[in-house]
Amino acid sequence: EPQSPELTVPAYRRPMFWKSKDKGDGPSPKTLRQPLSPKPPNAADAPAVAEATEVWVPDKERVWVRGRVTRQVGRSELEVETEDGVTVAVDLARHDTLHTANPSAEQDMCSLWHMSEPAVLSNLQLRFAADQPYTYVAHLLIAVNPLKPIPDPAEVSYEGAASSAALAALPPHQFAVAERAYRALLEQPAAGGGGRQDQSIVVSGESGAGKTESAKKLLRYITWRVASAAGGTKHDRRRSVGQTHAAAALNARILDSSPIL
């Protein structure tokens, strides 16, 4: 895992290189010799986090609050100035881990430099504040209820993505999830693999999280996508008015079939 340049990594946590009798430097399980780096020192002697490092500290009201290390007091205590201007003391001897803050928000949280509970919550909060309520965790989509109308992107941008990588590079949205499911539905099975595989999209969350709205967007995209494919190849985008009305009618019939939707 890449380390932030502000962090001081203790010697006993740095990568070790081993001497082997037969093959020089390299991991040889049968002939491992003493590591070149010194033995791990006592925890009390290990260097603490460097000054100016941005970290997360626990807070009773906000759960986590961001701050910057100002100085070290003794061997295990740090002074951290929070973003509210309050100075708090952090005793490293009482905390197993001091969570380092990430330099920026990411649309896929697998790209975060530092992964922790405050890192995930902060990333979602920053994107929510920027009217970007959708965030990936690999192929999963986290949708935070924006509590206001957010314009949807154009469907054709997801339909026109040439590859899975190009689709993943587009802004996170329910349309991307629906497009992946649609493409998987049409995949030709390998030789001897049987027929095409049915696809499912699981939408889960707490009450009021926006599950119904997400389901509507998924259904709307899939019905549009089916009508779009029926109109020709992606190089021929001329659709008849009848096909557009048919997609809208199918979407309405599906939504009307369930009082919840």
147, 220, 226, 238, 259 from 136: Cα distances, Å = 19, 21, 25, 33, 30
| Rounded average pLDDT over 101-112 | 95
9: number of CA atoms within 13 Å, CB side?
11
pLDDT at residue 23, as a whole number? 45
Confidence band of 124 (pLDDT split at 50, 70, 90):
very high
| Rounded average pLDDT over 163-182 | 94
Beta bridge partners of 108: 136
Q: What percentage of the chain exceeds 70 in pLDDT?
A: 70
106, 169, 178, 183, 188 from 164: Cα distances, Å = 19, 9, 13, 10, 16
Confidence band of 40 (pLDDT split at 50, 70, 90):
very low
Sign of torsion over alpha carbons 144, 97, 139, 135: positive
| Rounded average pLDDT over 44-66 | 81
pLDDT of 157 above 90: yes
Q: How far apart are CA 21 and CA 29, in angstroms?
A: 11
pLDDT of 25 above 80: no
Q: Which of 40, 41, 43, 53 is nearest to 76 (CA)?
A: 43
Beta bridge partners of 187: none
What would the two tokens of residue 156 be? Answer: 């054709």
| Rounded average pLDDT over 57-72 | 91
pLDDT at residue 257, as a whole number? 74
Q: How far apart are CA 133 and CA 253, in angstroms?
A: 28
Higher pLDDT, 52 or 15: 52
Q: Which of 91, 85, 50, 86 is nearest to 71 (CA)?
A: 50
CA angle, 200 then 205 then 209, to 5°: 120
Q: From its phi and psi, is residue 135 left (phi > 0), alpha (psi between -120 and 50) or beta? A: beta
Q: From its phi and psi, is residue 179 left (phi > 0), alpha (psi between -120 and 50) or beta? A: alpha
User: Taking the CB of residue 230, how many other CB atoms lie within 10 A of it?
Assistant: 12
**Cβ atoms of 140 and 156 closer than 8 Å:** no
Higher pLDDT, 153 or 251: 153
- Segment among 53-67, 112-126, 188-202 with least mean pLDDT: 188-202
Q: Tell me the residue type at 84.
A: D
> Which position has the token pair 């997801």?
158
**Cβ atoms of 221 and 179 closer than 8 Å:** yes
| Rounded average pLDDT over 24-35 | 39
Q: What percentage of the chain exceeds 90 in pLDDT?
A: 48
Higher pLDDT, 4 or 146: 146
pLDDT digits (tens, 9 = 90+) for 225-255: 988 877 654 444 445 455 556 666 777 777 7
The continuous run of DSSP H or E covering 11 comes out as none
What would the two tokens of residue 51 be? Answer: 């000054």
